[in-house]
Amino acid sequence: MADVALKQTPAALVFTDGCLRTIIVAITVYWGLLAVALPVTNVDSQIYNLGRLAVAENAGFWQRNAWNSINQVVFPWTFDAVHYPFLKIGWGMAVPSFLCFLGLVVMVFYLVSRRWGTNVGLWSVLSLLAMPTIMLGATTTKNDLVIVFGVGCWLYSLVRFQRSQSKFFIFTAALSLAFTTGSKTYAVPICVLLIFVTAWIWRKEVRTLLAFAGFFVLSVVLFGSIETYVLSKQIYNHPLGPPRGVYYSMNRDGLQGAAANFIRYYLGNFSLGVDGYANQSGLSTFLESKCRKILHNLHLYNVGYCIFWDDDTFHFDKGGLDSTSDFGLIGFAALLICSVYIWRPTWRNPRWTVIASGFAGLALICFTIGWMPWNARFLCLSFVLFGVAMAIIIFGELGRGLWLRRAFGVLIIWSAFTLPLLCIDRRPIDLARAFYARENVTFDQNPYLQQVYDDVIALERKETGVWFLIASDHSCILPFFAPQKKPWILAPQWEQILKFPRLEKDVPLFVLVLNRPIPADLPVEIVKQYADNTYILRMR
């Protein structure tokens, strides 16, 4: 374990601790309010992350007929399940992610300030607050930041165990890895790696290691999302879902694919910090063309992609959405600084270990996951490490360079303050809209569905009937569950509707069809028709 002696920070502080604390508290309060107030806005969450909680509540978990999306079955759901009480309350949807962020902030501050002092600890925290994808992850219902939190808990537990020798921290190390494993598929290889690291660290403490193994097995059974793997095996004969689906979403080109992905992730995270919502700099297009050139010069043709993308269709997103953002100017600066420092290996300096771990995490993602435009959020762990390392280097280790520290200080605060204006769904006005136009915010990422939603509500108020929901693999089903007084009858197959026993003839049967073509011979009357094969039907 690293030497934890406190190193004094450079004599001239750019901003005082009190000033930084105030800024951090103010910005954190802003994001916290968003986490509490915003409804579920994320499309993925509406389709499967939280959508499946509604399906499970309506039709049960151990069934095969009501799931409308493969993703509802095959992805681990431990962290998603944590959102259930908030779904019932109707508020605080992003509170679990935000608590993860707060936990991460506390751990980063604790670990950094012990060695480099409070000021550097505060700059490390502020660096995280200045990265768009991290703050979007902190206020979303998606399960990306929980991975960083889980890994942080594991590291924090190891450090605390080294100091106190308390068994509690063996338990928390095991629990954090198990919970992380159960939260996201790509966290599984990360956790496997960390288990080996844990075994290496405690290789001379057999009792500790055995206790860790025992706690880990128990925690995995409880929180490892075993049930989704079992259900997936039952439905698709494979614990990870349809085998072709898994294959298509992975990097299928080995080291070549990993190298190409690394170049794409690296260039994709070049940022001016001014993109996002309504501030398009055109940098993405420029970077795409350069990236294509570099890949082709290196003879890396069409490698490393998920099945839906290739050299012609790939593009970099900087649109300010949860899944289409980068890490901003500070993330870019951190990436560049770490890219220089990685070439100066000093094993005893934890700063180098942090940078190397960041690149290791990035390499693992490059090697395992096929490239998609919305993969930036998978790099949260790496960029948290890069951001912390940058803060340590600039504010903790540079003996000279007062003006450099001043420039970085202003840039970090500028980025942290301007971030809300560059994000979709997270602007200051969205905080107010969460109260007076909640429905609009819900459909911000999918506006055409709002009309459907309004019509369903109006029709339900006018006529009491039985409602079927028939949705496709990519349908946002979650918003339709919240206002419904009676439970939906989930029927992803048309036969299920036709075979439905009609006990009371007077009760009308309605079908909400989301993104599915309707068969020609179906005995129905079209009540409303929308774009993208979406209908409200009445059964004859």
Residue closer to another protein (CB basis): 283 or 342: 283
Closest CA to 377 of 144, 148, 199, 84: 144
Residue closer to another protein (CB basis): 417 or 500: 417
Instruction: Give me the residues paired with residue 539 across strands.
Output: 524
Residue 23 in the binding site for another protein (CB under 8 A): yes
Phi first, then psi: give them for residue 470, nearest 5 degrees.
-125, 115
x/- mask, another protein, residues 25-64, rule CB under 8 A, reads -x--------------------------------------
Residue 421 in the binding site for another protein (CB under 8 A): yes
Distance between CA atoms of 225 and 230, rounded to whole angstroms?
9
Residue closer to another protein (CB basis): 22 or 464: 22
Of the candidate residues 1, 4, 16, 22, the single one contacting another protein (CB under 8 A):
22
Residue closer to another protein (CB basis): 32 or 350: 32
Shortest spacing between CB 389 and another protein, in angstroms: 25
Distance between CA atoms of 111 and 342, rounded to whole angstroms?
21
Shortest spacing between CB 268 and another protein, in angstroms: 19
Instruction: Give me the residues paired with residue 528 across strands.
Output: 536
Handedness of CA 156, 159, 164, 168 (dihedral sign): positive
Residue 432 in the binding site for another protein (CB under 8 A): no
Shortest spacing between CB 432 and another protein, in angstroms: 14
CA–CA distance from 325 to each of 96, 137, 301, 463 (Å)? 21, 10, 25, 43
Of the candidate residues 209, 274, 342, 356, the single one contacting another protein (CB under 8 A):
274
Among 202-210, 233-241, 375-383, 417-425, which window interacts with another protein (CB under 8 A)?
417-425
Of the candidate residues 193, 221, 272, 507, the single one contacting another protein (CB under 8 A):
272
Instruction: Give me the residues paired with residue 371 across strands.
Output: 305
Residue 417 in the binding site for another protein (CB under 8 A): yes
Residue closer to another protein (CB basis): 281 or 451: 281
Report the amino acid identity of residue 331: G
Among 269-277, 446-454, 484-492, 496-504, which window interacts with another protein (CB under 8 A)?
269-277
Structure token digits, residue 385:
């490490």
Structure token digits, residue 483:
């206002």
Distance between CA atoms of 337 and 334, rounded to whole angstroms?
5
Structure token digits, residue 421:
């204006």
Residue 281 in the binding site for another protein (CB under 8 A): yes
Of the candidate residues 95, 130, 338, 422, the single one contacting another protein (CB under 8 A):
422
Shortest spacing between CB 414 and another protein, in angstroms: 5
Contact 74, 236 (CB under 8 A): yes
Residue closer to another protein (CB basis): 272 or 437: 272
Residue 13 in the binding site for another protein (CB under 8 A): no
Closest CA to 510 of 526, 496, 522, 534: 526
Max distance between CA atoms of the chain, in angstroms, equals 84
| 246: number of Cβ within 10 Å | 15
Distance between CA atoms of 178 and 222, rounded to whole angstroms?
9
Residue 138 in the binding site for another protein (CB under 8 A): no
Contact 404, 133 (CB under 8 A): no
Shortest spacing between CB 426 and another protein, in angstroms: 13
Site residues (vs another protein, CB under 8 A):
19, 22-23, 26, 272-274, 279-281, 413-414, 417-418, 421-422
